Structure 1
Amino acid sequence: MAIFQNNIKRFLLHKLNFVLLMVIPLLFIVLSFSGSGAQKAVVGIIDHDHSLLSQRMAQSIKTQADVVTVTEKDMRDQLINNKVDSVIIIPKHFAQFMLAGRSVKLQSFHVQESNVSSGIQTFVSSYLQDVHLMAGSARGDKNMFYKALDEYQKNHLGLHVKSTDNSGAQKEKTMGALGFVIFGLFMIVSVSSRFIMEDKKLKLYNRFFTTPLSVRSYNVQNILSYLMLAAATILLLMAVLVFGFHATLGPSLFNVFFVLFVFSVVSVSIGILISSLAKSLGQATALSQLIITPVAMLGGCFWPISITPVFMQKIADFVPTTWGMRALTSLVYGNQLNHVIMDLVVLLAFAAVFFLLASWKKSDIAR
């Protein structure tokens, strides 16, 4: 097990490896859990109707949350940067359709499903149902409708968006932290490809095969060493989440560990593929950096995929980080491992394809 031991020693001797796999994710985990979860919700409203009814509804929402004006252009940035918890879009002809007795559905966006965002949606839905009933009773009479609406808003206590616990907010923070754990594990792409390229650069790659060591043994030991590093990273970061921040990781810690470990197999496979394609250490490093951050962004490690443009959401289905985050989200929100079988199958399929491509490239070179 000379290759296995050598890789572990090399990892321990280089501080950069700790920074990539552990320190950077730890810093972002701390940021994910920073701040108070007891702050009042902030709701952005985009009013395309500018009617008396839309103004009344905004006033009603103000009893439940802080209301700010946003535009569709900056809405995504406001959500990503946590400046607003939810955004509600009031369409044109909103008042006209409501007074005509037609049901109107408002578009709403939020970063993560939580007790706060769910409460706001429930409040707005209840408000619209009541307004629809009043409009039906008024039968198109605006004066009667707005008189009833004014009385309703004076006397209606409403649903106050509060929670007896912070489990929803805690789950949001947990998913934000797990996104950076995935990002940290994805850094194994850089570590594994760099180690193999260093072996080639120092001619160790060729020397190994002048000994009884076979190509298969070399590859197996490499893979096992990277997976051991991944397992240690997962255990450390999960310990920080559970004992340091009391993160809500769902019904089973083992399930979360298993999904993260399967994802690390994908990371190792990509690293080995890069090492088989690159002709130098510089190329391997450049390819790794070109892949890691964009794929992490597309896959929802830094922000939810749901707030990205539709074309990016379609592209996201073809990157492994998406399937890792989907599986983790399902587990954190109470599901068991059998609910994420498809996500795990897709991740393993990614790994198999990358390993096969790396093997094909090596055999091709051997010719």
Structure 2
Amino acid sequence: MRNLFLLTLNTLKITFRKKSSIIVYLILPVIIVIFVMSAYSSMDAKIKVGINNKAQNGVISKDFVAALSRQDKFKIQQVNEEDINNFVAEGTIDCVITIPFDFDKDVSNGTMVKIQITSIKGEEATAWVQNYVNYYVKSMIMLGKASGKDKATFNKLYKSFKVQTLTVHNNILKDESRDKLKTVQSIGFLIMLMLQGATTTSGLILKDKKEKTYFRIFTTPVSSRIYIGANILANMCIMLTQSILVIFASKYILKLTAGLPDLQLLIILVLFGLVCVTLGILLVAFSTTTKQAGTMAILIIIPTCMLSGCFWPIDLMPKYTQQIGDFLPQTWALEAIRQLQNGKTFVAITPLLGILVAFALAFFLIGMYKMKNNENFKNFI
């Protein structure tokens, strides 16, 4: 244990020997994540909502549009049906609400009405719109059922509803969907930085091999297990520090609501940190030079982060790319965060955490097996 502890401290000392390393490993990730969060804060401007009202002569549908217009978060624009796809694709509007022809008749009869919301930004980006639409439509349906399909009774109830509860005030319902989206996407960038940092630090093994330090260490009572274990432990210390700093910055500097307890988020990031470290070991095992390891890391990290939704909501990608993402650890880390944000318990996401552990174990075992059977260490260039 003493040798493990000393080697861990030595690895950290070598890593942070240059002051610039503190910036690269600890400060820069936090700055980048804060920058990403700030960029997503621009989304806090009014949501541009297009309205395609097919029930133009309906009193209730007109009141519905008027109620949407009174919401501070919405900027309403009338849209023709043939322009919906173009406007949404170009980003002219964030989403389009299509009100069906029989809207007034259906809600007054207490029957379910399907309000179509067209968007390419995913449910997280339009959750506030969806929440308000659901609130309004469900309220209308309840009035219709309470009236027993009697038009006079419905009109009386509807008049009372308009006076008392037509406007949902922002101080009653707080929109946390934006903060949740910022959290997921900023964590996605942190995941990329964790992967790059871990593979870089694991590259110290290659440096030791090049300088023959790797072989001199094993002439001492230190075993290869202790040496690799110290590298993993040092990396995990860096991962843990990065995660704590990012969580602190998002909560106490940017005042974001992550949508899940800090400790649970930290556990997910630490487990993914273990995946990062073991992936670094795997890359080192299959590399003969630090340049080769760095190239492999770039070729693996960037594309897999893109496929797993680290840089943008995964809903924006085609179905087949989402299915490819299911084979990547980043996907399961982000999915665990999303499920906790959506109300799942920590126990409910343990299978997702188990998948992360399985990835880490697989990377570690393959890497160690390759290292053990590699006979070309002394030919390192």
Aligned to 2:75: 66
Q: TM-score, normalised by structure 1?
A: 0.75
Give the aligned CA root-mean-square deviation in angstroms: 4.1
For residue 129 of structure 2, the aligned residue among 95, 117, 120 is 117
For residue 190 of structure 1, the aligned residue among 194, 199, 216 is 199
CA contact (8 A) 2:84 2:96 kept: no
User: Cα distance 1:72–1:21, how it changes in 2: closer, same or farther (>3 A)?
Assistant: farther
* 1:298 maps onto 2:310 in alignment: no
> Which blocks of at least 5 consecutive residues in structure 1 are unaligned?
138-147
Aligned to 1:330: 339
Aligned to 2:152: none
* 1:23 maps onto 2:28 in alignment: yes
* 1:231 maps onto 2:240 in alignment: yes
Q: In structure 2, the residue corresponding to 1:112 is in which secondary structure?
A: helix
Q: Write the letter of the residue equivalent to 1:5.
A: L
Shift of 1:345: 0.5
Aligned to 2:13: 9
> CA separation in 2, counterparts of 1:266 and 1:186?
8
Q: Write the letter of the residue equivalent to 2:11.
A: N
> Which blocks of at least 5 consecutive residues in structure 2 are unaligned?
150-154, 377-381
For residues 205-354 of structure 1, the aligned pairs below 5 Å read: 205-250=214-259, 252-354=261-363
CA contact (8 A) 1:21 1:184 kept: no
For residue 199 of structure 1, the aligned residue among 187, 203, 208 is 208
Runs of 4+ in structure 1 over 6 Å off: 34-38, 53-60, 96-102, 127-130
Shift of 1:260: 0.9
Aligned to 1:140: none
> CA separation in 2, counterparts of 1:294 and 1:98?
49
CA contact (8 A) 1:301 1:321 kept: yes
Q: Which moved further from structure 2: 106-115 or 288-297?
A: 106-115
Shift of 1:343: 0.9
Shift of 1:330: 2.8
Q: In structure 2, the residue corresponding to 1:278 is in which secondary structure?
A: coil
Aligned to 1:42: 47
Q: TM-score, normalised by structure 2?
A: 0.73
* 1:88 maps onto 2:86 in alignment: no
CA contact (8 A) 1:17 1:191 kept: no
Aligned to 2:367: 358
Shift of 1:302: 2.3
User: Cα distance 1:98–1:164, how it changes in 2: closer, same or farther (>3 A)?
Assistant: closer
User: Cα distance 1:127–1:39, how it changes in 2: closer, same or farther (>3 A)?
Assistant: farther
Q: Write the letter of the residue equivalent to 1:106.
A: Q
Number of residue equivalences: 345
Q: In structure 1, the residue corresponding to 2:374 is in which secondary structure?
A: helix
> CA separation in 1, counterparts of 2:174 and 2:105?
39
User: Cα distance 1:29–1:36, how it changes in 2: closer, same or farther (>3 A)?
Assistant: closer
Cα distance per residue 1:248-290 (max 9 Å; x no partner):
3456322221111001000011111011112211111111122
Give the share of equivalent positions with the same residue, in percent: 23
> CA separation in 2, counterparts of 1:240 and 1:16?
20
Q: Write the letter of the residue equivalent to 2:16.
A: L
For residues 129-144 of structure 1, the aligned pairs below 5 Å read: none
User: Cα distance 1:261–1:88, how it changes in 2: closer, same or farther (>3 A)?
Assistant: same
> CA separation in 1, counterparts of 2:304 and 2:90?
19
> CA separation in 2, counterparts of 1:292 and 1:312?
16
User: Cα distance 1:9–1:341, how it changes in 2: closer, same or farther (>3 A)?
Assistant: same
> CA separation in 2, counterparts of 1:201 and 1:77?
53
Cα distance per residue 1:42-78 (max 9 Å; x no partner):
234496x989579978777545421356754674674
Aligned to 1:162: 170
> CA separation in 2, counterparts of 1:186 and 1:29?
18
CA contact (8 A) 1:40 1:66 kept: no
Q: In structure 2, the residue corresponding to 1:43 is in which secondary structure?
A: strand
CA contact (8 A) 1:255 1:336 kept: no
User: Cα distance 1:321–1:164, how it changes in 2: closer, same or farther (>3 A)?
Assistant: same
User: Cα distance 1:362–1:164, how it changes in 2: closer, same or farther (>3 A)?
Assistant: same
Cα distance per residue 1:161-220 (max 9 Å; x no partner):
734364514333333433333333222343234222222232322332333321111111
